[in-house]
């Protein structure tokens, strides 16, 4: 057995992240009974760029014509849908992690003499800056019967849960792309249903009653809960019934000391001969490529920081924008829990639909101003996103030198729509900490 799963080539993964879609995991192998698509991917995009459309190849070809509808993060639906499950700021970019699910029509019988067929499933993601990113994960579709004279060799396999057939809450497929912010995974999410087409026959490999499984982090290292693939007892069967499934039970990645990130749930089905010896039809747990991925978990990443600090809205007084006050300076107040706080990235986003714009005050450019408790002021030049909604500032000194240190940070904004009025605020992301700004009265 293996101590760690094999890592993907780091260079190709980085290239896919920047210019395409990095494939984190997918339902890579399943029987024709379970012709379904499960895919988890990640993109690195310019700041403020968003996913606008997701499509995939329902027929397992080069035509991504089936469109998925976006649901809220953690919705766990059962139709053609996708969710953005994390948005992380990295240097000059946003990193978007998403999960995609839907039906497939790839359940044709393999050619005579073959046990399975492999299909490329084209995925297309359209972005708000006009780009389209693609990926083509491969899925292997197995024939679920033992017909040796036709090449149907009848190796054991595990089902890919779909809809409500296996129970679970809110459905049977909730364990793929499951969001676990705290690291806690309920006991009804990761389902194993073991099928052996040879079960009960007088042939080698005719008995299955266990699998090996492992949770593997996106960097290739296993969860501490499964340092090596672990055995799970499951009743094997030859038919398509779903009543003999087994679940993993409650899992707590945080309690185990696991790092945040994306985890694949991998399973290696096993079979034994009448002698009790392992059958050659079993899938080898020392080979990651032999694994069936039948689930995934996203344990939300929390960006590390060298010293703690808090962020809260600035004011009072509120910022007022009207005919007598064309430019205002909303901001946030910072306080160090310990220090010194290292240089941070700061991102400021305008509210939607309030007719606000960032005001240029540099020579030229947009500025972020930082002021410490003694009145010392320093300004930083920012980068405006293409849609004009977000300003990003790099390597900002927050003037938080020791525990209890305080400072204030602000930007300049102006109102451009005389017909819009109301109370609103900006959104500040300072390192890993977020807050609304000083309230803004637009009149």
pTM over 0.85, yes/no: no
| Dist CA 126 CA 201 (whole Å) | 51
Which pLDDT does position 57 carry in this prediction? 98
Q: What is the 3-state secondary structure (H, E, C) of 88-150?
A: EEECCEEEEEEEEEEECCCCCCCCCCCCEEEEECCEEEEECCCCEEEECCEEEEECCCEEHHH
Report DSSP state, residue 4. S
pLDDT digit string, tens, across residues 171-190: 999 999 999 988 889 999 99
pLDDT given at position 2? 33
d(CA 432, CA 334): 13
Q: What is the pLDDT of residue 307?
A: 66
pLDDT at 1 over 50: no
Bridging pattern class, strands 66-70 and 81-90: parallel
Whether the ω angle into residue 364 lies within 30 degrees of 0, i.e. cis, is yes
- pLDDT confidence of residue 14: 59
Query: Residue 317: exposed, middle, or buried by beta-carbon count in 10 A (0-12, 13-18, 19+)?
Result: exposed
E runs forming strands in 173-249 = 178-179, 184-185, 191-192, 194-195, 210-217, 230-233, 246-247
Q: Considering the chain, what is the average pLDDT of its residues? A: 91
**pLDDT reported for residue 304:** 44
Q: How far apart are CA 164 and CA 160, in angstroms?
A: 12
- Render pLDDT for 48-96 as a digit per residue (tens, 0 to 9): 999 999 999 999 998 999 999 999 999 999 999 999 999 988 877 899 9
Could you give the residue ranges of the DSSP H alpha helices within 80-156?
A: none
- Hey, how many other C-beta atoms are within 10 angstroms of the C-beta on 294? 28
What's the pLDDT tens digit per position in 100-146?
Answer: 999 999 998 888 788 999 999 999 999 999 999 999 999 999 999 99
On the question of pLDDT at 318 being above 60, the answer is: yes
Q: Which of 165, 162, 182 is nearest to 174 (CA)?
A: 162
Return the DSSP state at 166.
Answer: T
| Residue pair 288/3 in contact by the 8 Å Cβ criterion | no
Residue 15's pLDDT band, with cuts at 50, 70 and 90, is low
Asked whether residue 287 carries a pLDDT value surpassing 80, the answer given is yes
More confident position, 285 or 255? 285
What does the pLDDT read at residue 322? 85
pLDDT of residue 255: 84
Q: Exposed/middle/buried for 175, CB within 10 Å: 0-12, 13-18, 19+? A: buried
pLDDT band, very low/low/confident/very high, at 13 (cuts 50, 70, 90): low
Q: Residue length, the chain?
A: 443
The Cα 43–Cα 21 span in angstroms is 5
Rounded-to-integer distance, Cα 359 and Cα 351, Å: 15
198 three-state secondary structure: coil
Range scoring the smallest mean pLDDT among 13-22, 118-127, 152-161, 359-368? 13-22
> Contact at 8 Å (CB) between 392 and 317?
no
Task: Domains for the chain: give ranges and CATH numbers.
Answer: 10-299 (no CATH), 309-442 (2.60.40.740)
């Amino acid at each position: 057995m293996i101590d760690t799963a094999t890592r993907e080539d780091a260079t190709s993964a980085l290239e896919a992240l920047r210019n395409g879609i990095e494939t984190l995991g997918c339902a890579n192998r399943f029987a024709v009974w379970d012709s379904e698509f499960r895919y988890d991917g990640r993109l690195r995009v310019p700041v403020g760029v968003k996913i606008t459309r997701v499509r995939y190849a329902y027929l397992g070809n080069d035509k991504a014509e089936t469109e998925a509808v976006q649901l809220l993060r953690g919705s766990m639906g059962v139709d053609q849908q996708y969710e953005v499950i994390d948005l992380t700021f990295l240097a000059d970019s946003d990193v978007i992690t998403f999960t995609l699910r839907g039906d497939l029509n790839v359940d044709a019988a393999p050619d005579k003499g073959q046990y399975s067929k492999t299909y490329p499933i084209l995925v297309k993601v359209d972005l708000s800056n006009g780009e389209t990113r693609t990926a083509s994960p491969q899925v292997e579709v197995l024939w679920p019967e033992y017909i040796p004279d036709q090449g149907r060799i009848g190796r054991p396999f595990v089902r890919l849960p779909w809809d409500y057939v296996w129970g679970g809450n809110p459905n049977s497929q909730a364990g793929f792309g499951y969001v676990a912010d705290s690291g806690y995974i309920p006991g009804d999410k990761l389902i194993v249903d073991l099928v052996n087409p040879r079960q009960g026959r007088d042939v080698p490999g005719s008995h299955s009653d266990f699998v090996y499984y492992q949770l593997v982090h996106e960097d290739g290292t296993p969860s501490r809960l499964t340092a090596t693939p672990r055995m799970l007892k499951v009743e094997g069967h030859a038919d398509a019934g779903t009543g003999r499934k087994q679940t993993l039970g409650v899992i707590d990645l945080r309690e185990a000391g696991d790092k945040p990130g994306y985890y694949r749930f991998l399973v290696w089905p096993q079979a034994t001969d009448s002698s009790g010896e392992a059958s050659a039809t079993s899938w080898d747990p020392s080979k990651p490529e032999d694994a069936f991925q039948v689930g995934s978990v996203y344990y939300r990443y929390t960006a590390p920081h060298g010293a703690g600090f808090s962020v809260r809205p600035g004011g009072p007084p509120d910022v007022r924008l009207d005919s007598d006050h064309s430019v205002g300076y909303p901001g946030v107040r910072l306080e160090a829990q310990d220090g010194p706080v290292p240089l941070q990235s700061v991102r400021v986003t305008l509210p939607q639909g309030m007719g606000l714009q960032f005001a240029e005050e540099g020579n030229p450019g947009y500025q972020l101003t930082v002021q410490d408790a003694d009145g010392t002021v320093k300004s930083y030049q920012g980068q405006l996103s293409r849609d004009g909604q977000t300003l990003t500032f790099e390597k900002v000194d927050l003037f938080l030198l020791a525990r209890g240190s305080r400072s204030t940070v602000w930007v300049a904004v102006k109102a451009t729509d005389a017909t819009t009025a109301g109370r609103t605020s900006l959104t500040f992301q300072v390192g890993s900490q977020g807050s609304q700004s000083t309230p803004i009265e637009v009149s």
